[in-house]
């Protein structure tokens, strides 16, 4: 079923950002999500799991522990992120990613229900550390395209790719 | 606690022209995945250049004032990258994006279902995600050609443009049973799935009866769907005989498209045949009647 065009994005900060350090999350209006109706329960689950994936990413990159990606990433996304973490560890550096805002739009739900795509205009701070020495601190605003697929108990991020806004 | 950089820094990044300058670092604003590029520094002496992103991280010892060259294939994962030049007690920063190559090299093609009945309107769906040679999602527009071909040669073709790297379609299953090939193609990249088309619901069920000693031998004609496909062997056909209020039933699997059995020969008995919810003809034994 096509979602109404006029639905205004809902501010879900109250749901997803229960603490002061939680990112602000906004769900943009969805004009069309493709061939399959997306019910509210699925939408909520996908967004919850995607945001949880960011928390996993942050922990994994800060601690240089690829295994922390396991609950939330799969396939190519997990392989690429895990490889980056291994390289970071070899170089003796680590990265602190702290997402501060997500502007999300679900853009595609496949007909058989086995993949869902979203676009996230995200703002995050990234700090590159060499041991306890800060090499660089930057604020980044970029657009992520993510594809999530369902597993037994949750949606996992299979494609996780940023592109210029 | 959050860490922040200055608003000025963010404004400088946002205002970068095609060849960005950030402090003493000059670099392209965007690089196609797997392409060669260089980063120019100024000054003199030795330094370490880090290229850092969630998708990849590189470290390079550099001489300040000389370009650091990155060969084709060195930086291949699409994403946003920081360039950090560490020399002595100072660091310089920059940022750039790596974008997916525009040329499709691999398709993630999901076709559903893998088995379905013939003649179903939009019964087959196909979804394609388009990737470059480095498994980056190709976000530039591409045209995906979908083709569903039956063994008989009949084919349906549709061309769909990608949106955010994905394209989908729905197609009708064909009229003939058998394996159909579902092919998605973008440039030289193809994906093929086999869709097994099976006969639809029965559309023709007719039996005949003849004496067989003390019993009645009943036998169907080949059982077919509305497109003339023979129903699969093993499909259960039910013969029911009713006589003086008593009813006996025999379930028989199709064998070579035909079901046959024998039943007690009672004068005036009525014998009917059905498969699933489809009911065939009825015979009244010994009265010369048949419906």
Q: What are the residue boundaries of the structural domains of chain B, listed by start? A: 7-99, 106-198, 202-290
Element (H, E) at B174: none
Per-residue pLDDT of chain A (165 residues; tens, 9 = 90+): 344 433 333 434 334 344 447 899 999 877 677 888 888 899 999 999 999 999 999 999 999 999 999 999 999 999 999 999 999 999 999 999 999 999 999 999 999 999 999 999 999 999 999 999 999 999 999 999 999 999 989 999 999 999 998
Closest CB to A138: pick one of B95, B136, B164.
Answer: B95
pLDDT at B6: 43
Q: What length is written for chain A?
A: 165
B7-99 has which CATH code? Answer: 2.60.40.1930
Residues of chain A with C-beta less than 8 angstroms from the C-beta of B168: 34-35, 108, 110-111
Kindly list the residues from chain A whose CB atom is less than 8 angstroms away from the CB atom of residue B2: 21, 98, 100, 125
Of B84, B125, B136, the CB nearest to A112: B125
For residues B145 and B112, what is the distance between their CA atoms, to the nearest angstrom?
A: 17
Query: pLDDT-based confidence at B3, cuts 50/70/90?
Result: low
Which pLDDT belongs to residue B287? 57
Q: Does B121 contact A at CB distance below 8 Å? A: no
The CA distance from B80 to the nearest CA of chain A, in Å, is 6
Task: Quote the minimal CA–CA distance from A110 to chain B in Å.
Answer: 7
Tell me: pLDDT of B143 over 50: yes
Q: Give yes or no for B105 touching A (CB within 8 A).
A: no
CB contact under 8 A, A111 and B125: yes
A128 touches B: beta carbon within 8 Å:
yes
Instruction: Tell me the Ramachandran region of residue B268: left when phi exceeds 0, alpha when psi lies from -120 to 50, beta otherwise.
Output: left
Q: Does A165 touch chain B (CB under 8 A)?
A: no
Q: Examine residue A5 and state whether it is found in any structural domain, yes or no.
A: no
Interchain proximity A111–B170, CB inside 8 Å: yes
Please check whether residue A2 lies inside any domain of the structure: no
Cα–Cα distance list, B44 to B28, B40, B41, B47, B87 (Å): 22, 12, 9, 9, 10
Helices A75-91 and A40-63, packing angle to 10 deg = 20
Chain A: residue whose CA lies nearest to B53: A84
Sheet holding B155-161, edge to edge: B115-117, B189-198, B178-186, B143-149, B155-161
Q: What is the pLDDT of residues B90-103, one digit of tens each?
A: 889 999 999 999 89
Number of domains within chain A: 1
Tracing tokens 């976000």 back to the chain, one arrives at B139
- Which residues 78-97 of B are in CB contact (within 8 Å) with A? 78-80, 82, 84, 86, 91, 93, 95, 97
Q: Does A81 touch chain B (CB under 8 A)?
A: yes
Q: Which residues pair with B283 in a beta bridge?
A: B271, B290
Q: Do B194 and B180 contact (CB within 8 A), yes or no?
A: yes
Q: pLDDT by residue (tens digit) across B33-88?
A: 999 999 999 888 899 999 999 999 999 999 999 999 999 999 999 999 999 999 87
For an interface test with A, the pick among B22, B58, B80 (most A C-beta atoms closer than 10 Å) comes out as: B80
Q: Are A165 and A143 in contact (CB under 8 A)?
A: yes
- Taking a C-beta distance cutoff of 8 angstroms, is the pair A59, A65 a contact? yes
**Residue of chain A whose Cα is closest to the Cα of B54:** A81
Measure CA B239 to chain center. Answer: 42
Q: How far is B148 from chain A (nearest CA, A)?
A: 17
Nearest CA-CA partner of B248 in B216, B271, B217: B271
List the one residue out of B204, B207, B182 whose CA is nearest residue B192: B182
| pLDDT, position A80 | 97
| Total beta-carbon pairs less than 8 A apart between chain A and chain B | 142
Q: Tell me the pLDDT of chain B averaged across its residues.
A: 89
Continuous segment of H or E residues that includes residue B269: none
Q: Which residues of chain A make contact with B141, given a CB cutoff of 8 A? A: none
Question: Quick check: A126 contacting B, CB < 8 Å?
Answer: yes
| Cα(A148)–Cα(A116) distance, integer angstroms | 5
Q: How far is B219 from chain A (nearest CA, A)?
A: 41
B37 touches chain A (CB under 8 A): no
Q: Is residue A1 part of a domain?
A: no
The per-residue pLDDT for A19 is: 45
Query: Is the residue at A83 inside a domain?
Result: yes
State whether residue B57 sits within 8 Å of chain A by CB: yes
CATH of domain B106-198: 2.60.40.1930
pTM score of the predicted model: 0.81
Given a contact cutoff of 8 angstroms between Cβ atoms, the answer to whether B132 and B175 are in contact is no
Domain that includes residue A131, residue range: 10-163
Query: A2 in contact with B at a CB cutoff of 8 Å?
Result: no
This model of the complex carries an ipTM of 0.87
Identical fold for domains B7-99 and B106-198, yes or no, is yes
CATH number at residue A138: 3.10.450.50
DSSP letters spanning B36-81? -EEEB--SSSEEEEEEE-SS-EEEEEEETTSPEEE-TTSS-S-EEE
In words, the CATH class of domain B202-290 is: mainly beta
pLDDT the model gives residue B90: 80
């Amino acid at each position: 079923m096509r979602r109404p065009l006029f639905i205004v994005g809902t501010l879900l900060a109250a749901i997803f950002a229960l603490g002061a350090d939680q990112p602000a999350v906004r769900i943009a209006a969805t004009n069309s999500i493709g061939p399959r109706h997306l019910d509210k329960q699925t939408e909520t689950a996908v967004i919850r799991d995607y945001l949880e994936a960011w928390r996993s990413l942050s922990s994994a990159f800060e601690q240089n522990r690829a295994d922390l990606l396991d609950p939330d990433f799969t396939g190519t996304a997990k392989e690429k992120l895990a490889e980056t973490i291994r390289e970071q560890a070899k170089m003796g550096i680590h990265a602190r990613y702290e997402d501060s805002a997500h502007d999300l739009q679900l853009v595609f739900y496949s007909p058989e229900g086995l993949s869902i795509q979203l676009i996230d205009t995200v703002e995050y701070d990234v700090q590159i550390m060499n041991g306890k020495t800060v090499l660089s601190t930057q604020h980044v605003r970029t657009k992520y395209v993510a594809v999530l697929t369902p597993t037994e108990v949750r949606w996992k991020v299979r494609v996780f790719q940023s592109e210029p806004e | 606690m959050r860490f922040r950089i200055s608003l000025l820094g963010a404004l400088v990044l946002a205002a970068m022209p095609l060849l960005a300058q950030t402090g003493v670092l000059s670099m392209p604003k965007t690089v196609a995945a797997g392409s060669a590029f260089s980063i120019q520094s100024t000054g003199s002496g030795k330094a370490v250049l880090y290229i850092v992103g969630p998708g990849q991280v590189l470290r390079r010892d550099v001489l300040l004032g000389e370009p650091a060259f990155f060969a084709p294939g060195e930086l291949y994962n699409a994403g946003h990258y920081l360039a950090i030049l560490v020399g002595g007690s100072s660091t310089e920063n920059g940022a750039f994006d790596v974008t997916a190559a525009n040329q499709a090299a691999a398709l993630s093609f999901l076709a559903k279902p893998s088995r379905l009945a013939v003649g179903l309107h939009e019964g087959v769906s196909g979804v394609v995600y388009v990737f470059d040679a480095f498994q980056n999602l190709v976000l530039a527009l591409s045209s995906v050609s979908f083709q569903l071909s039956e063994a008989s040669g009949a084919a349906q073709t549709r061309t769909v443009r990608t949106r955010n790297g994905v394209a989908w379609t729905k197609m009708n299953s064909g009229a003939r049973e058998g394996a159909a090939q579902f092919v998605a193609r973008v440039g030289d990249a193809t994906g093929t799935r086999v869709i097994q088309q099976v006969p639809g619901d029965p559309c023709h069920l007719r039996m005949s009866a003849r004496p067989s000693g003390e019993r009645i031998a009943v036998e169907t004609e080949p059982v077919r769907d509305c497109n003339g496909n023979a129903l699969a062997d093993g499909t259960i056909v039910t013969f029911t005989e009713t006589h003086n209020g008593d009813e006996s039933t025999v379930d028989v699997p199709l064998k070579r498209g035909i079901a046959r059995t024998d039943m007690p020969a009672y004068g005036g008995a009525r014998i009917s045949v059905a498969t699933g919810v489809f009911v065939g003809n009825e015979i009244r034994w010994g009265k010369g009647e048949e419906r």
